Amino acid sequence: MVAFLELLNVQPGERVLEVGTGTGWTAALLTALGAGVTTIEIDPVIASAADQRLRATGFDAVVLIGDGAEGAPESGLFGGVHVTCAVTEIPYPWVEQTRPGGRIVAPWQPEFGDGHKVLLTVTEDGRAIGRLTGTAHYMMLRSQRGGFHLPEDTAGAAETGTCLDPRQVTEGGYGADAAIAGMLPDVMALPQHETGRFELLLADTGGTSWARVSRTGGAEHHVRQAGPRRLWDEVADAYQRWVGWGRAERSRFGMTVGQNGHQVIWCDDPTNIITP
């Protein structure tokens, strides 16, 4: 939380939208830093308790009840947006409701890999651009919560082998997960650790394809995959592309949210967009 507040770098008198009120603690901190805070919470019981708590302790924040993904469109433009829940896609209303030069700080949780802190700056032309700045693990925004599912019947899957260690793909570097998430934004990964065993489960968000890669401890690992896509092959190719970039560190990656809300990941420079 402190890291996100430091990234936001709120200035006295600045208007800040907070998404996810919770207990009201962060809204109180933002108010103490001199911000004019509007905070939005989807759960009316939680919002009411936070509002009472803030008022009782002398913090003058405006508490709204609603879907944080929509922001607070009737409250004017904000100098910053502080998000306390993870998102896979940055909702474009947050960009629309931030003045040019304003900042959005949020936990970005792609389908593949760990979550990341992201700091975006809104531009005059209605985009938001910024870099990944570290790891973040937060509860997902309710409207973006999904689930990982493999079919119960896995008969008929193609069985092959791979020399690429699946554990290396998921744990070999924070830059790798950002790169793979950029190249394959619709591929979900679920690493499974058991005593003396590791498996990587993959599925696409459309529910059409899946893969299960079992680490054997030997030179070749076991792969089962089915559906119109060969997800392990796609992930392995993306990982090798990242290796070919010199194992780019996470700090080299960034995000742009376009005027149409379309989100892309880039490496080194916003013009160097990562493509599938």
Residues 73/25, Cβ–Cβ less than 8 Å: no
Cα distances from 55 to residues 41, 64, 193, in angstroms, run: 16, 14, 46
CB crowding 240-270: b at 16 or more within 10 Å, else e: eebeeeeebebebbbbbbeeeeebebbbeee
First to last CA, the chain: 33
What confidence score (pLDDT) does residue 63 get? Answer: 98
Rounded Cα distance between 96 and 106, Å, is 16
Asked if 163 and 220 count as a contact pair (C-beta separation under 8 A), the reply is yes
The number of beta carbons lying within 10 Å of the beta carbon of residue 90 is 22
Q: What burial letters (b/e) apply to 48-77, b meaning 16+ CB within 10 Å? A: ebbbebbeeeebebbbbeeebbebbeeeee
DSSP secondary structure code for residue 142 in this structure? G
User: What confidence score (pLDDT) does residue 81 get?
Assistant: 98
Residue of 40, 174, 186, 163 whose CA lies nearest to 112: 186
Class of domain 158-244: alpha beta
Measure the CA–CA gap between 145 and 142, rounded to whole angstroms. Answer: 5
Domain spans of the chain, in order of start = 2-144+251-267, 158-244
The pLDDT tens digits for 227-250 are: 999 999 999 999 999 999 999 999
Residue 246 is classified by DSSP as: T
- What letter does residue 269 receive in the DSSP assignment? S
**Can you say whether the dihedral through the CA atoms of 177, 182, 183, 186 is positive or negative?**
positive
Distance (Å, whole) CA 122 – CA 100: 5
Q: Identify any residues that bridge with 15 across adjacent strands, giving them in sequence order.
A: 36
Dump the DSSP string for 60-117.
--EEEES-GGG--GGG--EEEEEE-SBBSS--HHHHHTEEEEEEEEEEE--SSS--EE
> Which residues does the chain have with pLDDT short of 70?
152
Name the 3-class secondary structure at 38: strand
Q: In the chain, where do the E strands start and end?
A: 15-19, 36-41, 62-65, 78-83, 98-108, 116-122, 128-135, 158-162, 187-194, 197-204, 210-214, 221-226, 253-257, 263-267
Residues 32 and 46: their CA atoms lie apart, in Å, by: 21
Q: Does domain 2-144+251-267 have CATH number 3.40.50.150?
A: yes
Token pair recorded at residue 255: 């995000």
